[in-house]
Amino acid sequence: MIKNISDLKRDDMFFLLAGPCVIEGEDMALRIAERVVKITDNLHIPYVFKGSYRKANRSRLDSFTGIGDEKALKILAKVRSTFDVPVVTDIHTASEAEMAAEYVDVLQIPAFLCRQTDLLVAAARTGKIVNIKKGQFLSPAAMRFAADKVVEAGNDQVMLTERGTMFGYQDLIVDYRGIPEMQSFGHPVVLDVTHSLQQPNQTSGVTGGMPQLIETVAKAGVAVGVDGLFMETHEDPSKAKSDGANMLKLDLLEDLLVKLVRIRQSL
């Protein structure tokens, strides 16, 4: 299992973090993982299975948050052992870092929490790879300081993730200039394709999205030279319990990745 970011990086290929937004159950997690592992193995794409064990940032109180922390974390561990792939999950408070680190290889810091010093330090001290999502309210340059907090806490295994910048109240845009700018800090940069296409703050209290632009945003990121891609995928996004409006239907993943590999190989 990976202990260093170098285990994911290949000079000629991006790596992929992909899976459902949230762990809804064991069977669905294993089915999705099996499909993505087969695809990425065939295309020689380094792969990390993604699944949140709990969704702490939800628009409404009645929104689905998870099936239980321990239950979901054990499912992530089962995916890890069954398919011999690393796994990544989000943490939301400093107290969660040590608990989640027992089950996963990469701890992800949500965009809204990327400035939380105690959270970043707690994640760093686990020794796990730390993936920090750029806040929708921050410039790419400001992410240097978030990364520095992890490094100064004794952990140089840091990734930064671009996930769009607020554009008005209900839209996000990706400024692709930020990818090389953040790469200049010396850390791999990931493009979160699906969350960059969210339409937050809808009057219904349910976040919208533009999944029809997933291919466009992903192609541009690969062309710019991003190190990794993050995409949430589900067998039936219309029935997903979180972020279904901007997820990629699992049946579309292979064709998209084939196109993205061709772009990368042409650079």
Give DSSP secondary structure letters for 15-56. Answer: EEEEE-SB---HHHHHHHHHHHHHHHHHHT--EEEE-BS---
Q: Token pair for residue 82?
A: 């069954």
How far, in Å, are 109, 151, 160, 194 from residue 56 at the CA level? 12, 26, 21, 18
C-alpha to C-alpha distance for 9 and 65, rounded to whole angstroms: 32
How remote is the C-alpha of 127 from its chain's centroid? 19
Q: Work out the angle at residue 145's Cα, subtended by the Cα atoms of residues 133 and 154, and round it to the nearest 5 degrees.
A: 90
Band of pLDDT at residue 61, cut at 50, 70 and 90? low
Phi, psi of 15, deg, nearest 5: -105, 165
What is the per-residue pLDDT for 205?
56
pTM of the model: 0.93
Band of pLDDT at residue 109, cut at 50, 70 and 90? very high
What is the per-residue pLDDT for 250?
96
DSSP state of 247: P
Compute the average pLDDT of residues 154-160: 97
Compute the average pLDDT of residues 105-114: 97
Q: Token pair for residue 42?
A: 């065939």
pLDDT single digits (tens) 194-223: 999 978 765 565 567 788 999 999 999 999
Weakest-pLDDT range from 30-44, 48-62, 87-101, 133-147: 48-62
What is the per-residue pLDDT for 195?
92
Tell whether the model's pLDDT for residue 130 goes beyond 70: yes
Q: Token pair for residue 214?
A: 């997933």
C-alpha to C-alpha distance for 67 and 85, rounded to whole angstroms: 22
Q: Token pair for residue 147?
A: 């990364």
What does CATH list as the number for 5-266?
A: 3.20.20.70
Residue extents of the structural domains in the chain: 5-266
Compute the average pLDDT of residues 229-251: 88
Tell me which residue has tokens 């997690």.
29
User: How much of the chain exceeds pLDDT 70, in percent?
Assistant: 93
How remote is the C-alpha of 5 from its chain's centroid? 15
Q: Rounded to 5, what percent of the chain is helix, strand, coil? A: 45, 20, 35
Q: Which of 5-9, 59-63, 201-205 has the highest mean pLDDT?
A: 5-9
User: Is the separation of the CB atoms in 132 and 115 below 8 Å?
Assistant: no
Helix (H, G, I), strand (E, B) or coil at 267: coil
Compute the average pLDDT of residues 229-247: 86
